[in-house]
């Protein structure tokens, strides 16, 4: 436990070179195997953190966790360890230390107290009135996944992950991300009238393709390709799990890509050999996912439109992915086709995007006969 505290103070909880760390851990794991001992005999808490984060689970490297996911897990687990050490008197005051290990010493009640402390008493919760349900769901998922790994690996003896309370998000708790075609048109008109070609094009491309933020940021010039069969352009998009999919480009969406490139004073031809980022910032660098999100957020805060000023919809870059799903549904696309276009693995995720629209669309009031209340209906 003292070792973890020392590591955290030195900001060395996570290594600069994970590949070297995994190689060292694998050698120790194989040593234990040769000696007929449990796999993680020579591991401490820090080693288990590293192994959980950086181990390869699939021989196909493209099927392993993305760097973005690893960074997200690193951030969450770093915060968890730091907080567990700092608030020990509050969360695990009755803990019996086992082998000098924080993780081996925790019981179900300790991580349940920690979960409640994060949700209700942590500095962020006090300052902001708590985390959103979706954020608590994500945090709980990562904690549960990590402690479940420790238990299944035999490093800890008790299934303490079972002590975490459910943090599933109800549909009514999900943020309103329903930006339909009327609102999208108003936004596009707003930026078109102000000749803000950069923001206009980004919104148009996000809505017209349904891409994730990080997918747009990864696009290269060579990813714009011409389809000689149908006579249109399409994007070759690198998605999650390093899977590629082809997204056809409506002609006006393609025009927006050209408009963006011209506004940044970049060539508007698309050679197959070019590794240049398709969408660059004002400094000539590619967008990062966070950078794109912050850029659009700043631009959208200044928009003087009633549905933006009302604050009922928090407009982020991700909202336009929901708009793509909603517009596809309005145009009679089936849910399975929308799921494939969005690169969702689970159709339930797609249904979350559409749930509020479907609820309103399928409400029983739409079955009323117009004569039921005479002239009052």
What dotted CATH number matches 181-361? 1.10.443.10
* Alpha carbon 139 to chain centroid, angstroms: 12
- Distances from the Cα of 55 to the Cα of 19, 58, 70, 140, angstroms: 9, 9, 11, 21
pTM for this entry: 0.69
* Average pLDDT of the residues in 206-223: 96
Asked whether 150 and 77 are in contact (CB, 8 A), the reply is: no
pLDDT in tens, 101-137: 999 999 999 999 999 999 999 999 999 888 888 889 9
The Cβ of residue 260 has, within 10 Å, a number of other Cβ atoms equal to: 22
Domain spans of the chain? 2-170, 181-361
Q: What is the pLDDT of residues 190-206, one digit of tens each?
A: 999 999 999 999 999 99
**pLDDT tens digits along 53-75:** 998 775 455 556 777 788 889 99
Task: Average the pLDDT over 228-232 and give the result.
Answer: 87
- Quick one: pLDDT band at residue 9, thresholds 50, 70, 90? very low
Any idea how long the chain is?
377
Average pLDDT, the chain: 88
Question: Average pLDDT of 74-97?
Answer: 86
Over residues 250-295, the pLDDT tens digits come to: 999 999 999 999 999 999 999 999 999 999 999 999 999 989 999 9
Specify whether the CB–CB gap between 203 and 184 falls below 8 A.
Answer: yes
Residues 234 and 249: beta-carbon distance below 8 Å: yes
């Amino acid at each position: 436990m003292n070792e973890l505290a020392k590591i955290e103070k030195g900001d060395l909880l996570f290594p600069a070179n994970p590949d070297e760390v995994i190689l060292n851990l694998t050698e120790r794991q194989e040593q234990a195997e040769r000696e007929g001992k449990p796999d993680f005999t020579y591991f401490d808490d820090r080693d288990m953190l590293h192994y959980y984060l950086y181990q390869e689970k699939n021989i196909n490297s493209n099927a392993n966790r993305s760097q973005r996911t690893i960074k997200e897990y690193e951030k969450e687990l770093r915060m968890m360890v730091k907080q567990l050490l700092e608030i020990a008197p509050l969360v695990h005051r009755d803990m019996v230390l086992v082998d000098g290990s924080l993780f081996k010493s925790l019981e179900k009640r300790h991580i349940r107290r920690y979960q409640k402390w994060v949700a209700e008493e942590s500095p962020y919760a006090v300052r902001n009135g708590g985390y959103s349900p979706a954020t608590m769901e994500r945090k709980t998922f990562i904690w549960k996944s990590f402690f479940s790994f420790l238990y299944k690996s035999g490093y800890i003896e008790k299934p303490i992950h079972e002590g975490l309370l459910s943090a599933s998000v109800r549909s009514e708790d999900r943020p309103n991300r329903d930006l339909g075609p009327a609102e999208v048109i108003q936004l596009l008109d707003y930026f078109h009238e102000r000749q803000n070609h950069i923001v206009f094009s980004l919104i148009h491309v996000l809505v017209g393709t349904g891409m994730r933020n990080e997918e747009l940021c990864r696009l290269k010039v060579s990813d714009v390709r011409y389809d000689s069969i149908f006579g249109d352009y399409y994007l070759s998009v690198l998605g999650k799990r390093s899977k590629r999919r082809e997204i056809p480009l409506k002609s006006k969406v393609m025009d927006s890509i050209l408009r963006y490139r011209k506004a940044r004073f970049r060539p508007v031809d698309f050679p197959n050999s070019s590794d240049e980022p398709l969408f660059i910032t004002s400094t000539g660098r590619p967008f990062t996912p966070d950078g794109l999100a912050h850029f659009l957020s700043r631009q959208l805060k200044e928009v003087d439109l009633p549905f933006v000023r009302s604050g009922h919809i928090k407009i982020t870059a991700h909202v336009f992915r929901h708009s793509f799903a909603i517009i596809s549904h309005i145009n009679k696309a089936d849910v399975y086709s929308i799921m494939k276009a969005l690169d969702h693995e689970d159709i339930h995720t797609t249904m979350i995007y559409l749930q509020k629209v479907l609820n309103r669309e399928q409400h029983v009031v739409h079955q009323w006969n117009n004569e039921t209340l005479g002239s009052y209906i």
